[in-house]
């Protein structure tokens, strides 16, 4: 840690990890309700548990992004944060909002659009927190060195805040409601979040591999160009069947098929950087998470997204377990792995130690990723069978679901593996061993950062 | 990565191209907005009752179990065409009664069966919800879903 104010990142990461634990716990409960539907059916109905599962995910990922920004911006800008106090205030605001929302959900206090269930006061709190954040980070960047990484990161974070404003607009006409709802949901995860993802990965490649900044910058701009060129019009793949014009079937199919490109570019980028890199960085676990991130994002968001994005295919698969399969691996690969990568990289610096518990951390990676991959496979099979029985044969929804029981049991099993992986990860990151681990026998040619 | 491409060229392509695609997307959104209002949905049929029905749909977070036009959770049936599935095109009163009866008889409590909560809606609220389902079923969705099963 070169700058004292980077320390605030640690608090963001702690809160992110706490919500991560909550998210997967509720995920496990939901997976269990699928196989034992009477479980908690009065106390915690499926819709309430799912709200907490998805909202906790979104908030902890955002906390991770904010933490990552507070960690890397001072280092990139070569200056202290404008105001660490404001950063803490922002975190308190977000945590009060998040815990208020969760407690409210348990008592059935919520709004009703998917993922945007936060009551209005929480939404306004999120906007206020975002404004504080943007003010703080923008001033930091302006007073220090400007780099491609901070440029792209800042643009992504501004985009997150701006497009969130559409969450406040809820027209009575359902088709209009859905058109603008996707402005938040799609343009976040398949647009501006990719900017955040690419810039954090670029920062990690710079630190972990020691490749020249010029090379990293070129990759970074090329990747984010691909992301927005395809992702903006790629929104069209959500405009097939909601009352929007038929031309979206062409535009959505073509551009969303191309959305694979930025994810593929990120795979090539990370692997080429590691291959070309001169540096033997001691934090092998962080490198594993970073490579795992680009690879699993390519499969989850890219390949699994492409699988059902063409309109003639989506006509049959839309809103089946195929979508669930894609959603799980895409979020895990692109954004969960990204956050766990930067947390794994930054925590030793924030604690002022050499990288620790690396083997445990790497075991956690394989357990979590193996679990998520298996979950994706089971849901994909469930979705394909569902598509055939329900959309082709016309059997009724619940009759079809009963025939999918085996897949849902296997999904629950994979969920258990994921939760164990998460617990292992939290232990590895939060509980440094007393003795410092020495980083093997390889000699380092370039000092690690 | 080709040698001719420098970081600053890549940056300019990124900014210029993104702006271009943002403008195109914005223009298509405006067109789609008017298409939705004028062509694909029944703007005049958007009565107070339908709007109330949508609010009830939201207040009870139906979307976190059901899908509506394919979006939502995948735990319970698609409801964008529930009106059609219940025969509302031929017998609107019968469909309305069937939907209301279904809502009133939940949860079933049957062991091993997915449970829908009891939302304790008044008769007027149930009517509004049914009106909302009817209105949604009339949206021109490019013939989605493929069949009545939803």
Q: What is the pLDDT of residues A381-418, one digit of tens each?
A: 999 999 999 999 999 999 999 999 999 999 999 999 99
Q: Which residue of A has its CA nearest to B61?
A: A112
Q: Say if CB B141 and CB A241 are below 8 A apart.
A: yes
Looking at CA atoms only, how far is residue B50 from chain A in angstroms?
Answer: 9
What mean pLDDT comes out for the span A172-185?
98
Using pLDDT thresholds of 50, 70 and 90, give the confidence band for residue A255. Answer: very high
What mean pLDDT comes out for the span A84-95?
97
Question: A50 to chain B: which residues are within 8 Å by CB?
Answer: 64-65, 73, 75
> Average pLDDT over chain A, rounded to whole?
95
The rounded distance, in Å, linking the Cα atoms of B88 and A281 is 66
Q: Is A409 on the interface with B (CB under 8 A)?
A: no
pLDDT at A62: 97
pLDDT at A279: 83
Question: A214 to chain B: which residues are within 8 Å by CB?
Answer: 6-7
3-state secondary structure of B67: strand
- In this predicted model, what pLDDT tens digit does every residue of A276-286 receive, in sequence order? 998 889 999 99
Q: Is A239 on the interface with B (CB under 8 A)?
A: yes
Using pLDDT thresholds of 50, 70 and 90, give the confidence band for residue A434. Answer: low
Q: Tokens for A29?
A: 């409960």
Using pLDDT thresholds of 50, 70 and 90, give the confidence band for residue B4. Answer: confident
Q: What percent of chain B has pLDDT over 70?
A: 98
Q: Which residue has the tokens 């947390």?
A: A343
Looking at CA atoms only, how far is residue B100 from chain A in angstroms?
Answer: 19
Element (H, E) at B68: strand B67-68
Question: A222 to chain B: which residues are within 8 Å by CB?
Answer: 1, 5, 10, 13-14
3-state secondary structure of A45: coil
pLDDT at A113: 96
3-state secondary structure of A147: coil
Facing residue for A221 by CB, picked from B14, B107, B140: B14
Q: Judge whether residue B74 has pLDDT over 90.
A: yes
What mean pLDDT comes out for the span A418-423?
98
pLDDT at A136: 98
What mean pLDDT comes out for the span A190-210?
97
pLDDT at A433: 73
pLDDT at B32: 98
Q: Judge whether residue A232 has pLDDT over 70.
A: yes
Overall fold of domain B46-138: Cytochrome Bc1 Complex; Chain D, domain 2 (1.10.760)
- In this predicted model, what pLDDT tens digit does every residue of A332-369 receive, in sequence order? 999 999 999 999 999 999 999 999 999 999 999 999 99
Interface pTM (ipTM) of the complex? 0.96
Q: Say if CB A240 and CB A249 are below 8 A apart.
A: yes
Reported residue count of chain B is: 150
Q: How far from each other are the two terminal CA atoms of chain B, in whole angstroms? A: 47
What mean pLDDT comes out for the span B42-64?
97
Q: Do A47 and B67 touch (CB under 8 A)?
A: no
Q: Do B74 and A249 touch (CB under 8 A)?
A: no
3-state secondary structure of B71: strand
DSSP bridge partners of B67: B72, B78
- In this predicted model, what pLDDT tens digit does every residue of A298-309 receive, in sequence order? 999 999 999 999
Quote the Cα angle for A184-A188-A189, to 5°: 125
Q: Which residue has the tokens 């990676």?
A: A365
Q: Say if CB B107 and CB A41 are below 8 A apart.
A: yes
Rg of the Cα trace of chain B? Answer: 22
Using pLDDT thresholds of 50, 70 and 90, give the confidence band for residue A48. Answer: very high
Q: Do A179 and B65 touch (CB under 8 A)?
A: no
Using pLDDT thresholds of 50, 70 and 90, give the confidence band for residue A432. Answer: confident
pLDDT at A442: 54
Domain coordinates of chain B in residue numbers?
1-39, 46-138
Q: What percent of chain A has pLDDT over 70?
A: 96
pLDDT at A263: 98
Using pLDDT thresholds of 50, 70 and 90, give the confidence band for residue B122. Answer: very high
The rounded distance, in Å, linking the Cα atoms of A271 and A269 is 6
pLDDT at A1: 82
Q: Do B36 and A175 touch (CB under 8 A)?
A: yes
Question: A246 to chain B: which residues are within 8 Å by CB?
Answer: 142
Q: Which residue has the tokens 């969705």?
A: B141
Q: Do A112 and B14 touch (CB under 8 A)?
A: no
Question: A318 to chain B: which residues are within 8 Å by CB?
Answer: 70, 144-145
Q: Is A351 on the interface with B (CB under 8 A)?
A: no
Using pLDDT thresholds of 50, 70 and 90, give the confidence band for residue A437. Answer: low
DSSP bridge partners of B68: B71
Residues with Cβ < 8 Å from A58, sequence gap 6 or more? A115
At residue B68, what are phi and psi to the nearest 5 degrees?
Answer: -130, 115
Q: Do A47 and B18 touch (CB under 8 A)?
A: no
Q: Judge whether residue A5 has pLDDT over 70.
A: yes
Residues with Cβ < 8 Å from A434, sequence gap 6 or more? none
Domain A1-146 bears CATH identifier 1.20.120: yes
Residues 98-117 of A with CB under 8 A from B: 110-114, 117
Q: Which residue of B has its CA nearest to A324?
A: B74
- Cα–Cα distances (Å) from B102 to A45, A252, A335, B19, B113, in that order, read 18, 37, 40, 50, 15
Domain coordinates of chain A in residue numbers?
1-146, 161-281, 300-430
Q: Tokens for A364?
A: 């956690």
Q: How far from each other are the two terminal CA atoms of chain A, in whole angstroms? A: 9
């Amino acid at each position: 840690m070169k700058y004292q104010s980077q320390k605030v990142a640690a608090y963001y990461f702690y809160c992110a990890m706490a919500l991560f634990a909550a998210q997967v716990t509720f995920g496990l409960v939901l997976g269990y309700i699928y196989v034992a539907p009477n479980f908690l059916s009065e106390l915690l109905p499926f819709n309430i548990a799912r709200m907490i599962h998805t909202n906790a995910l979104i908030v902890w990922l955002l906390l991770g992004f904010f933490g990552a920004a507070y960690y890397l911006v001072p280092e990139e800008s070569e200056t202290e944060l404008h105001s660490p106090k404001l950063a803490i205030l922002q975190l308190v605001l977000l945590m009060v909002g998040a815990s208020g929302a969760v407690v409210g959900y348990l008592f059935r206090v919520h709004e009703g659009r998917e993922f945007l269930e936060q009551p209005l006061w929480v939404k306004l709190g999120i906007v206020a927190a975002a404004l504080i954040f943007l003010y703080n980070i923008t001033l930091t960047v302006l007073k220090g060195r400007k780099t491609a990484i901070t440029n792209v990161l800042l643009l992504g974070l501004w985009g997150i805040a701006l497009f969130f404003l559409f969450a406040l607009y809820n027209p009575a006409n359902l088709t209009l409601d859905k058109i603008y709802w996707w402005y938040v949901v799609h343009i976040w995860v398949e647009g501006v979040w990719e900017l955040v993802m690419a810039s954090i990965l670029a920062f990690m490649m710079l630190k972990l591999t020691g490749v020249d900044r010029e090379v990293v910058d070129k990759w970074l701009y090329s990747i984010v160009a691909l992301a927005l060129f395809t992702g903006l019009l790629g929104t069209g793949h959500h405009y097939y069947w909601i009352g929007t014009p038929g031309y979206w079937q062409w535009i959505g199919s073509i551009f969303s098929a191309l959305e694979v490109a930025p994810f593929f570019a990120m795979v090539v980028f990370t692997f080429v950087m590691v291959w070309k890199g001169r540096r033997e960085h001691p934090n092998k676990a962080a490198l594993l998470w970073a490579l795992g991130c680009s690879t699993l994002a390519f499969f989850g968001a890219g390949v699994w997204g492409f699988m059902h994005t063409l309109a003639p295919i989506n006509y049959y698969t839309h809103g089946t377990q195929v979508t669930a399969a894609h959603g799980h691996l895409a979020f895990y690969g692109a954004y969960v792995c990204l956050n766990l990568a930067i947390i794994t990289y930054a925590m030793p610096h924030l604690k002022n130690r050499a990288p620790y518990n690396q083997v445990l951390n790497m075991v956690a990676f394989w357990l979590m990723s193996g679990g998520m991959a298996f979950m994706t496979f089971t849901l994909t099979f469930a979705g394909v069978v569902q598509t055939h029985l329900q959309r082709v044969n016309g059997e009724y929804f619940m009759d079809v679901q009963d025939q999918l029981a085996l897949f849902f049991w296997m999904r629950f099993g994979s969920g258990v593996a994921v939760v164990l992986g998460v617990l292992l990860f939290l232990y590895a990151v939060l509980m440094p061993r007393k003795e410092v681990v020495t980083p093997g026998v390889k000699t380092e040619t370039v000092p690690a950062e | 990565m080709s040698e001719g491409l420098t970081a600053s060229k890549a940056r300019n392509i990124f900014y210029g191209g993104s702006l271009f695609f943002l403008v195109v997307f914005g223009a298509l959104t405006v067109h789609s907005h008017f298409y939705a209002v004028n062509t694909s949905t029944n703007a005049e049929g958007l009565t107070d009752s339908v709007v109330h029905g949508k609010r009830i749909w939201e207040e009870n977070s139906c979307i976190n179990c059901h899908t509506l036009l394919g979006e939502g959770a995948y735990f319970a049936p698609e409801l964008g065409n529930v009106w059609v599935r219940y025969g509302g095109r031929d017998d609107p009163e019968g469909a309305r009664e069937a939907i209301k009866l279904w809502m009133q008889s939940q949860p079933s409590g049957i062991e091993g069966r997915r449970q829908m909560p009891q939302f304790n809606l008044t008769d007027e609220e149930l009517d509004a919800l049914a009106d909302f389902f009817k209105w949604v079923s009339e949206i021109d969705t490019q013939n989605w879903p493929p069949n009545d099963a939803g």
